[in-house]
Amino acid sequence: MAETKNMAIEKTGGLSLQEQRRRQQMIRAIIAYIILALFAVIFILPFLVTVSTSLKYPQDVFDGKIIPQRIISPWWYNFFGRTEMNIPKLTYDGAFFAGWSRQGITPFAQYYINSIIVSVAVVVLQIITCSMAAYAFARLRWPGRDQVFLTYLGTLMVPGVVMMIPVFIMMKNGFFLNRIFPFIPQFSLIDTYPALILPGAFSAYGTFMLRQYFLSIPASLEEAAYIDGASRWQILTTIIVPLSKTAISTMAIFTYLFTWNDFMWPLIVTNKDSMKTLPVGLQAFQSTYGSQWHLVMAASLIVIFPLIVVFIIGQRYIVKGIMMTGLK
């Protein structure tokens, strides 16, 4: 046996079978990392060009260099602009302060405020509505529960663009409340925060995601609380929700990213500059400053900076939440 083993080792160049497998795995891992690194470079290259262009003066935009020659001065100029003291009104021409004067707030800053208000409001409302709906579908027993849940999930198959026109008509006519209650005058929600927030206050995907997580929580905890006299609302708020922080955080991050980047719906329901969100405002910014690519790229970085921060902070919640949501 020993001679046979030694002969086998000699034939394989003095390496045992286990060492050979380790080398093969190492070679496969190296090849896989090289391929992934190439794809990473391809995907990150546009972002690097955006950052590089935002740190250049106008005359250096098309110099073909990734690393700008000067960084500090162009960075301050492109993002925050410079003051013109030789004209009556103090003005700025940077990306963030474009069009600003002492007479009022910059449109770009207003877009930022609108996006923050709409994104935070949608996230809070979805957490509330999806948590209650998921608890009803996961824990409560009532006739037709599973059929209603399947119908609810069926709405995920309907493209969002199909629902935009009916929802827009509802917003324009104030949900037709004057038809139901004649004493209520007809009103329109166009160019208001409710028009931007209410359509995103409910989510079938968020309900499904939280329901799957709620099913993984032991029913004994809920039964013990029910025996102690806790109501359904107390069980949801003191037991189910605290134990589901990972799933709720994941849903909140996804909702925030989608709402922050949403372009089509704010474009439809907003006409005034004071009610536009960042994606719509950035499109208008590109139309106004289309030839000034250093300002356009600086504005783009200002828009995506909160998304990068949120993703970095919540990355572990996203991975953990996706892994645990499907457990039952």
For the chain, the domains span 2-54, 107-325
Using alpha carbons only, how large is the chain's radius of gyration in Å?
28
Q: Is the pLDDT confidence value at 326 over 60?
A: no
Among 97-111, 178-192, 207-221, the range with the most confident prediction by mean pLDDT is 207-221
Query: What is the Cα–Cα distance from 303 to 312, expressed in whole angstroms?
Result: 16
Instruction: Compute the average pLDDT of residues 192-219.
Output: 91
Q: Is the pLDDT confidence value at 104 over 70?
A: no
Predicted confidence band at 324 (pLDDT cuts at 50, 70, 90)?
low
Asked if residue 57 lies in contact with residue 295, where contact means CB atoms within 8 angstroms, the answer is no
Q: Which segment of 20-24, 149-153, 185-189, 205-209 scores lowest on mean pLDDT?
A: 185-189
Q: Is the pLDDT confidence value at 197 over 90?
A: yes
Which residues pair with residue 104 across a beta bridge?
A: 101
Q: Is the pLDDT confidence value at 186 over 50?
A: yes
Q: Is the pLDDT confidence value at 303 over 70?
A: yes
**pLDDT digit string, tens, across residues 242-279:** 988 888 988 898 899 899 999 999 999 998 888 889 88
Q: Which segment of 145-149, 202-206, 298-302 scores lowest on mean pLDDT?
A: 298-302
Residue 197, C-beta contacts closer than 8 angstroms, at least 6 positions apart: 118, 121, 122, 125
Give the pLDDT score at 81: 60
Among 30-39, 90-99, 101-110, 225-234, the range with the most confident prediction by mean pLDDT is 30-39
Q: Is the pLDDT confidence value at 146 over 80?
A: yes
Asked if residue 189 lies in contact with residue 111, where contact means CB atoms within 8 angstroms, the answer is no
Torsion angle of C-alpha atoms 144, 135, 236, 200, degrees rounded to 10: -120
- How many CB atoms sit inside 10 A of residue 309's CB? 10
Which structure tokens are listed for 203? 């989510």
Using a 10 angstrom Cβ sphere, with 0-12 exposed, 13-18 middle and 19 or more buried, the burial of residue 229 is exposed
**Cα 180 from chain centre:** 37
Asked if residue 109 lies in contact with residue 185, where contact means CB atoms within 8 angstroms, the answer is no
Residue 6, C-beta contacts closer than 8 angstroms, at least 6 positions apart: none
**∠ CA 116-167-134, rounded to 5°:** 70
Q: Which segment of 117-121, 194-198, 305-309 scores lowest on mean pLDDT?
A: 305-309
Query: What is the Cα–Cα distance from 73 to 71, expressed in whole angstroms?
Result: 6
Give the pLDDT score at 74: 60
Domain 107-325 fold is MetI-like fold (1.10.3720)
- Mean of the per-residue pLDDT values of the chain: 79
Closest CA to 297 of 96, 118, 119: 96
φ, ψ for residue 101, nearest 5 deg: -150, 175
Give the pLDDT score at 305: 84
Crossing angle for the helix pair 107-138 and 278-288, nearest 10 degrees?
150
